[in-house]
Structure 1
Amino acid sequence: MRRTAFLVTVTALVLGAVAAPDAPRAEAAPAAFVHPGVTVSRAQLDFVRVKVNSGAQPWKGAFDQMLASKYAALDRTPAPRAIVECGSYSDPDHGCTDERQDALAAYTDALAWYVTRDERYARKAIELMDAWSAVIKDHTDSNAPLQTGWAGSSWPRAAEIIKYTYTGGWAGSGRFATMLRDVYLPEIINGSNSNGNWELSMTEAAVGISVLLEDRGTYDKAMARFRTRTAAYVYLASDGDLPKTVPSQNLDTRDKIVAYWQGQATFVTGLTQETCRDLTHTGYGISSISHVAETSRIQGQDLYGTDVGERLRQALGSQAGYELGAAVPGLLCGGSLKPGLGPVTEVGYNALHNRLGVAMTNTRTLTERNRPAGTNSLFVAWETLTHGDNPA
């Protein structure tokens, strides 16, 4: 693609916008929470189960990939800790990797249970969740908020499926809920004023936990933070000369905003706060935006037609183009980007392209190239299986 590809793509995307962007606003919790309803719904799970059991692709291949992974191993031994200590980039790593991977394994087992109806997977998911809820007391060190957000995003996905679809009983479900309320929520609900991927991951966890707990007040607070943080993470030309900001961060001058946006002084639609850092961390933020939007849709409030959907679409299209090898214009990040977006496009692509009919050429190409999407070993897992071309 030519050096002008970014600006041409941006122009085309703006002309075909899903909806006119609106201002961030709080979203009210549903009158009755839908279960299972964190990122994936019962209808979506039913669709997946039929496709996998009939051998249809890409779902069967995605399921086989998941079942062959270490996360689905029925001989997995949980490794809980009372105190999970995580420094910058998980150094030191005292329980950080163990916690994230056990949470992902519980979610993997929950999905395997639903598709196969093999109770061994449900019991393994319960074993993992019970092991941690019996032990963990706190997260410490500099990465504690992010670690809590990552693990706290996976736990409620697993718990929702087991609690509301497994009829074999889960005696420890109350203790698990108490763990999420007392150990996880206090660390994440008020944010950290750090990079956008931190804030979005933490908010994703808070939204998911509030659904499982049926906590309307926490849901409302987390969704209000989500709207503000999403607007401050993905730039649209309609925002004005400078990106939107989170008031508590006190980014009250142009110089402060530019520094926060990794030194980027020219703002173009689809740019994220971390694009010029690298696409890997950008992918974390984009993924959390899509996960919260999907949870909100399942709970009865569809954000894909609001500024959230527009920002998600523009971020996906722009970042996907560069991940595919588009030349980076000199005005963007000094003309150089670090790739590594990760398996983060399925949820947003399915919602925006398949449901709303929006053309997303770059995102479609990258999504199909990466199928079946696996896991980033942090909080993203198996989204070709759960959301690939899923109309439910």
Structure 2
Amino acid sequence: MRLRLALAALLCVSALAAPTPALARPQVRAAAFNHPGVLVSRAQLDFVKVHLTSEPWKSAWSALRASQYASLSWTPRPRATVECGPSSNPDYGCSDEREDAMAAYTHALQWYLTGDSRNATKAVQIMDAWSAVITEHIGSNAPLQTGWSGASFSRAAELIKHTYTGWANAGRFASKLRSVYLPTVVNGSPNTNGNWELIMTDALIGIAVFLDDRASFDKAVQLWRGRLPAYVYLASDGAYPKSRPGSKYDTKDEIIDYWHGQTTFVDGLAQETCRDFGHTGWGIAAAAHVAETARHQGLDLYAEGKDRLRRAMGFHSGLQLGEPVPSWLCGGKVNLGLGPVLEVGYNALHNRMGIAMSRTQRLVEQSRPAGVSHFLGWETLTHAENPN
């Protein structure tokens, strides 16, 4: 009897100690992030470094070095409250913050590509100036402003933190990204034009990687997966575009109104095509940025979004290049001005994945070197023909 009891007790203890069956365990990805890994990686920049005397990187590098953002005399203009109204009017610190963030990123790139510590010091000076005072973004454009600036600041911070050893206040900057920027972008923007949410998601995924914040990274991926299918139409979606989960625009009439009155839908058409190509280009670029950062972290969003991205790039590139506007599209008239916004997505889909994109290729090559606009900076330099 005593033997049977002892054996029963032993079996009970063994059962309690046994690992949970694999199918019952939640599937959690590794917490570690690859650094630097916000839009650009070390391998990408090492590739650029050895091609600075060849085209198209030579012209792109010259443009960066000649820009105001590259100057060692750049003086940051921080403020505690950044107030941005529609189209940044009023502009109380909006342009200053965006430009300072881009200057920080520009100096971070120069530091890595030249090894000149003066550029790292300047990037640190800019970020320290803002982290010392910034407390809030207000006004109707605050979410978009936070996205624009947060995207550039997170790229700059990521590159400096993981390639330079002299940033004493990195923790303070991180705390401001977490307390001032992250809460504004983390829940997206379901009912505004789609470029807002995609730009906010671009900032969110960059901030998440810099902060080693897996939950925020996963939230960015969730937002991207919900927004891209609601931003770029494919015939496989059905008669009408998909609605972004949680959006108030979910009936036929509401979707048509949200798509700026467009009633005919074809592959590659975007939610803002009939608004203007400038905002549409921002949306496409931001979607590619998110996928690029995710790729550096081992998640292939390009595999999920390649058809929408390539169709959107080709559709808008063709019209930007002068193809006739069909009568059924936007009443027969579109507002052009796509801008040099396709370098990252084109490199990923055409150069790395081998997808034929003739119209996009023509526009990208005609638009080089890509310069600076709000959250876009030096993408010919960083991503043209880049295999990494």
- 1:243 Cα offset (Å): 0.7
* Structure-1 residue corresponding to 2:188: 191
Among 251, 256, 259, the residue aligned to 1:258: 256
* Structure-1 residue corresponding to 2:37: 37
* Structure-2 residue corresponding to 1:385: 381
- Tell me if the contact between 2:72 and 2:122 (Cα under 8 Å) persists in the aligned partners: yes
Whole-angstrom CA distance in 1 between matches of 2:345 and 2:291: 9
* Structure-1 residue corresponding to 2:49: 49
1:369 equivalent in alignment to 2:369? no
Q: 1:117-196 maps to which residues of 2 (within 5 A)?
A: 117-167=115-165, 169-193=166-190, 194-196=192-194
Residue by residue over 1:168-191, the C-alpha shift from the partner in whole angstroms, topping out at 9 and shown as x without a partner, is x10010000000000001111112
Among 273, 284, 291, the residue aligned to 2:282: 284
Whole-angstrom CA distance in 1 between matches of 2:336 and 2:113: 34
Identical counterparts, % of pairs: 61
- 1:332 Cα offset (Å): 0.8
- 1:28 Cα offset (Å): 7.1
Structure 2, unmatched stretches of 5+, are: 1-26
- Tell me if the contact between 1:343 and 1:375 (Cα under 8 Å) persists in the aligned partners: no
Whole-angstrom CA distance in 2 between matches of 1:199 and 1:29: 25
CA 1:35–1:231 in 2, change beyond 3 Å: closer, same or farther? same
CA 1:221–1:271 in 2, change beyond 3 Å: closer, same or farther? same
* Structure-2 residue corresponding to 1:339: 336
- Tell me if the contact between 1:110 and 1:121 (Cα under 8 Å) persists in the aligned partners: yes
Whole-angstrom CA distance in 1 between matches of 2:179 and 2:270: 33
- Tell me if the contact between 2:45 and 2:382 (Cα under 8 Å) persists in the aligned partners: yes
Residue by residue over 1:297-338, the C-alpha shift from the partner in whole angstroms, topping out at 9 and shown as x without a partner, is 1100112222x1211111100111111111111111111111
* Structure-1 residue corresponding to 2:221: 223
Q: 1:322-337 maps to which residues of 2 (within 5 A)?
A: 322-337=319-334
CA 1:276–1:29 in 2, change beyond 3 Å: closer, same or farther? farther
CA 1:66–1:28 in 2, change beyond 3 Å: closer, same or farther? farther
**Aligned AA (1:47):** F
Whole-angstrom CA distance in 2 between matches of 1:271 and 1:230: 12
* Structure-2 residue corresponding to 1:24: none
Whole-angstrom CA distance in 1 between matches of 2:266 and 2:210: 38
Whole-angstrom CA distance in 2 between matches of 1:197 and 1:28: 30
CA 1:343–1:188 in 2, change beyond 3 Å: closer, same or farther? same
Among 59, 83, 97, the residue aligned to 2:57: 59
Whole-angstrom CA distance in 2 between matches of 1:155 and 1:30: 25
Structure 1, unmatched stretches of 5+, are: 1-26
1:232 equivalent in alignment to 2:230? yes
Superposed structure 1 runs of 4+ greater than 4 Å apart: 27-30
Among 79, 82, 88, the residue aligned to 2:80: 82
TM-score by length of 1: 0.91
Q: Which has the larger radius of gyration?
A: 2
Using CA pairs under 8 Å that are at least 6 residues apart, name the structure with larger relative contact order, 1 or 2. Answer: 1
* Structure-1 residue corresponding to 2:93: 95
- 1:56 Cα offset (Å): 1.2
**SS state at 1:372 partner:** coil
CA 1:89–1:250 in 2, change beyond 3 Å: closer, same or farther? same
* Structure-1 residue corresponding to 2:351: 354
Whole-angstrom CA distance in 2 between matches of 1:349 and 1:133: 35
- Tell me if the contact between 1:29 and 1:220 (Cα under 8 Å) persists in the aligned partners: no
**SS state at 2:176 partner:** helix
- 1:250 Cα offset (Å): 2.1
- Tell me if the contact between 2:226 and 2:245 (Cα under 8 Å) persists in the aligned partners: no
**Aligned AA (2:338):** L
**Aligned AA (2:169):** G
Residue by residue over 1:99-130, the C-alpha shift from the partner in whole angstroms, topping out at 9 and shown as x without a partner, is 00000000000001111111110000000000
Whole-angstrom CA distance in 1 between matches of 2:31 and 2:74: 39
Q: RMSD over aligned Cα, in angstroms?
A: 1.1
